[in-house]
Amino acid sequence: MDYYRQTQLKDYNSFKTEAQAKIFCKPSTIQELRQCLSDFPDEKKLIIGGGCNIFFTKDFDGLVIHPYIKGLREISDEEEEDEDIFLEVNASEDWDEFVAYCVERGFAGLENLSYIPGTVGAAPIQNIGAYGAEVKDVIREVVAVDMETGETVSFSNAECEFGYRDSVFKRTNKYLVISVVFHLKRTFVYIPKYADLNKELEDFEEPSIQDVRDAVIRVRQRKLPDEKVLPNAGSFFKNPYISKEQADKILIDYPNLPAYPLKDGLIKTSAAFLIDKAGYKGKRNDNVGTYPNQPLIIVNYGTSDGNEILSFMHEVQKAVKDTFGIELEPEVRIF
């Protein structure tokens, strides 16, 4: 396997910011991956999949691993009913191609997660979610390599400690996911969960799994910028969890505040709503701005300097803090 020095990362992040990796490699087997871990035991490590949830503000002084480990296999489990289907998918498979593969075969469970850019290996890292679904609901197991010891470790769903845009992998930064085992169903039933999607499907009496995928894609294409045309990394901030008292106070002036009560007494609200009401919907400072159709997305109109995006991010955070007293936490990983 080749190692590349001082590699430009602009084409490896969907925000298209410039940064050099001190060392860069592209292992295509687990053996090659172990080799690069043992060749550079003391270097800091960063994994890049599709680069759709990261951007750079400075060079990376360490080893960037861009895995190219492909493959998919159906596994049978004699203890389970025929209704259940298990697929082990390697980390570098394209996420949406995998969703399309499942939908074509009628394997249910992933259709609401259609058209999210990136790789299969990154899906469990932030427990990707959309239209009322989260990937944690269909993951049976995650297989990863411990980057300190080179050992292969399997995580059950519970051991992944999934949360809202969170997992043990995101918190520890210690594991490179090599494959994910999904548990899907052969029977599909549409369960209305999300208003935008229900509306898109209102003409369908009993939407098929393909109808749902097509509807998700139409809604996303209308609302979200294509990162290949207008660089961005999807939702920039997480939706904040606030106390009931805080929500009640805001509701006095903003009765339309989206407020979803959670089990622990907290309220989940909408970062997009807060950004909009703080005056930042469609706001643009030279090269950086929020997307007019969806203020939660910060878009890059033409800078290669991640610090411009970072300054704009701070500005949005300050506006929301000053208006509502709420700290917005980035969902995007910033290096």
Ligand X SMILES: Cc1cc2nc3c(=O)[nH]c(=O)nc-3n(C[C@H](O)[C@H](O)[C@H](O)COP(=O)(O)OP(=O)(O)OC[C@H]3O[C@@H](n4cnc5c(N)ncnc54)[C@H](O)[C@@H]3O)c2cc1C
- Which residues are tagged catalytic? 165, 235, 331
Question: Least separation, in Å, of the C-beta of 88 and ligand X?
Answer: 14
Please name which of 228, 181, 178, 221 lies closest in space to residue 84, comparing C-alpha atoms: 181
Question: Least separation, in Å, of the C-beta of 259 and ligand X?
Answer: 21
Q: Which region among 3-11, 22-30, 41-49, 321-329 touches ligand X (by CB under 6 A)?
A: 41-49
Helix, coil or strand: residue 128: coil
Region of 279 on the Ramachandran plot (φ > 0 left; ψ -120 to 50 alpha; else beta)? left
Q: Which region among 43-51, 96-104, 151-159, 279-287 touches ligand X (by CB under 6 A)?
A: 43-51
Check binding of 197 to ligand X (CB under 6 A): no
Check binding of 333 to ligand X (CB under 6 A): yes
Alpha carbon separation from 42 to 10, 35, 36, 148 (Å, rounded): 25, 14, 11, 10
Q: Which region among 125-133, 154-162, 181-189, 199-207 touches ligand X (by CB under 6 A)?
A: 125-133
Check binding of 130 to ligand X (CB under 6 A): yes
Question: Least separation, in Å, of the C-beta of 233 and ligand X?
Answer: 5
Residue ranges in 79-98 that form contacts with ligand X under rule CB under 6 A: 91
Check binding of 227 to ligand X (CB under 6 A): yes
Q: Where are the beta strands (DSSP E) in the chain?
A: 4-8, 20-25, 44-47, 54-55, 60-65, 72-75, 84-90, 129-130, 133-134, 139-146, 152-156, 175-185, 232-235, 241-242, 259-261, 267-269, 284-285, 288-291, 294-300, 333-334
User: In angstroms, rounded to a whole number, what is the distance separating the alpha carbons of residues 281 and 298?
Assistant: 10
Choose, by CB under 6 A, the member of 9, 30, 36, 48 that binds ligand X. 48
Binding site for ligand X (CB under 6 A): 14, 46-54, 67, 91, 116-119, 121-123, 125-126, 128-130, 169, 176-177, 224, 227, 232-234, 333
